[in-house]
Amino acid sequence: MYTSTISSKASTACENGFHTNSYLQEKNRSFNSPLSCKSFADLEKINAPILDAHSYCQLQECRIDEVRAKSFCDCQISTIAKLKSGSYVEIKRCDVGSVEASGFVLAKESKIANISTKSYAELRGITQLKRVEAKGFIKATNSEIASIHSGSYVELKAIKGLHTIHAHGQVQAAECDIEQLQSKNYIEMAASTVSQVTCAQLEATNSYLESIKSTYGVTLKSCWAIRTVSAQDVIAFQCASLGAIEATRSANLSFCPSVDNVTALEITLKDCTVLHNVTGNAVKVINSVVQQTLTAKNSEMKLVNSHINKLVLEAPLQAPTIARTEASGDIPSNILSLVQAVQSGRLHIIREGSNYCIHFGDLQQRMRNMNLMTMNGIIISASNGVGTLNMYNNQIKVDDLIIPKDKTTVQAAFEFIERQRHRQTAHIDSNNNNNSKVEQKPQRVIIAGGHVAEVAFEVAGGVVIVQDNGSVGTIFQGTVQESTGRAEAEPPNEYTDAVSLDIMRNPCTTPSRQTYDRTTLQRLVNKVTGRIICPLTYQEFSLSDCLPDVGLQAQIEAWLQIHKPSSLQESLQHTAAASSESNIEIEMAEAGMTFTF
């Protein structure tokens, strides 16, 4: 902190202030009444109650209660209670009460109480700053700041005493201590301590966080999050301590030795210990421990070298699969995808006059949301925070779902769904009432190493298969079956995706020289920026920067041919579809046609 003092060479006798129609240039004087000028003011070692300059002012080693300048103001080694500028302000080694500027504010090595600017602010070595507010960005380094409000982005390094940050743009924070951090965009932080985070998307490394709430994704690497993490997707890697993980879509945790609870639709645990419960629809567990209850709806679950206190298998979810044919003939694949999306509750198709509306999210909110677009008799609308809308050529794409802009196709899908509703029967393979009911396979649990103390099936008839010296205790509504051989061959690590742990069907290499399946990269795309941050290296890149690894893909297909021939055809189809979609995505990304809603 620097506190200026007036040089002893300054005049000790006080004089009356004065007004000049020209510029004001004074040195070593003290005034007991205001100074004003019609032009600029250049003052050194001046004491005065008020300075009013109609142009710019330059102050050095001055002590002035109030400074008003219609142009810029440059202050060095001065004490000012109130500073107001019609342009930018530069402050160095000063003690200032409040700063109000129409232009930017640059401040170094000073004590300032409040800053307000209609432009941006750059601060370094500032102490005792209660509040800084800027319509533009704010950059601060090695400072003490209590409150930050920015209409744009914020970059912080080594900031202490921060109670509140509100930003409309992205926030980057390193080595900071923050109570509440809120951003309508995404946040990147490293080596920081934050009590409460609210944002669109979060990437954090080596940080201590108490509570996290994100609209889209949260990626944590070597972090502590002791209370709750709430987001659409959560990825955690080498986090020493995590509280309750609540994801509306997926949670992927690796090498996390202490997690309170995990709740998500899709859950992957690898080398983790969960102290209480895990609850999900589709759950994968590898080399992990669940000390209380794991509840899932898998039709088949494989536990690899894991220890579970209690496993509860609820009735598996039956994916809606519409039959390929009905009385009128084959159903086109684009109608099939729309019908499946409606059946899963992801979207609704309704008729509004001569138009057809495709609404993503809760139909109850339909009247409270603006239409995203209207084209060729099709209306696209969505509830907040549902997904990302892309447009290219004759297609509309929301996340991974492609919707044609052809009204006839959407109309055909609508009419097909209406027919099914009126007949109260759908051509769904798992629920066909026309004397062709498909026999349901029993749920299966494969325990490949490790131990499960208790297994309970909600639907009677479940089967527990024990492999690789695994063991099981009590079984409710199921039977145990000792495997006659070893567990099914596991793919080499280099063939599996580091995030999903699934075998890669379309491996792609990123600029950071990591390899992921393209579907994983698609899910990692930041909903706000359209960019991807590598979960392992934290390098940022776009989907179009990733190159297919043709050699690795050939090796994987060869392995599948030997060990899982039934999966090879599915892999080839998956690769072809993903390749087609990836070309569309890259071209859309280059055209910049991405919208988040």
pLDDT, one tens digit per residue, over 432-451 is 444 444 456 788 999 999 99
Residue 172: pLDDT band with limits 50, 70, 90: very high
Spatial contact of 388 and 527, defined as CB atoms under 8 Å apart: yes
Give 178's strand partners: 162, 194
Spell out the domain ranges in the chain.
325-431, 493-596
Residue, of 141 and 353, whose pLDDT is higher: 141
Spatial contact of 25 and 7, defined as CB atoms under 8 Å apart: no
Spatial contact of 85 and 71, defined as CB atoms under 8 Å apart: yes
Per the prediction, the chain carries an average pLDDT of 81
pLDDT, one tens digit per residue, over 324-342 is 334 334 556 657 777 777 7
Instruction: Identify the pLDDT of residue 360.
Output: 75
pLDDT, one tens digit per residue, over 479-523 is 888 664 555 567 788 888 888 778 888 899 898 888 999 888 887
**Is pLDDT above 60 for 323?**
no
**Is pLDDT above 80 for 456?**
yes
pLDDT, one tens digit per residue, over 525-560 is 876 677 888 877 777 888 888 888 888 888 888 788
Instruction: Identify the pLDDT of residue 424.
Output: 47
Q: Which CATH number is 493-596's, of 3.30.40.10, 3.40.50.1580, 3.40.50.10300, 3.30.450.40? A: 3.30.40.10
Q: Is the full-model pTM beyond 0.75?
A: no
The Cα 534–Cα 222 span in angstroms is 14
CA angle 76, 79, 83 (to 5 degrees): 85
Spatial contact of 90 and 112, defined as CB atoms under 8 Å apart: no
Spatial contact of 85 and 72, defined as CB atoms under 8 Å apart: yes
**Is pLDDT above 70 for 410?**
yes
Residue 566: pLDDT band with limits 50, 70, 90: low
**CA proximity to 73, closest of 109, 40, 34, 25:** 40
- Count of residues making up the chain: 597
Residue, of 35 and 342, whose pLDDT is higher: 35
Instruction: Identify the pLDDT of residue 454.
Output: 93
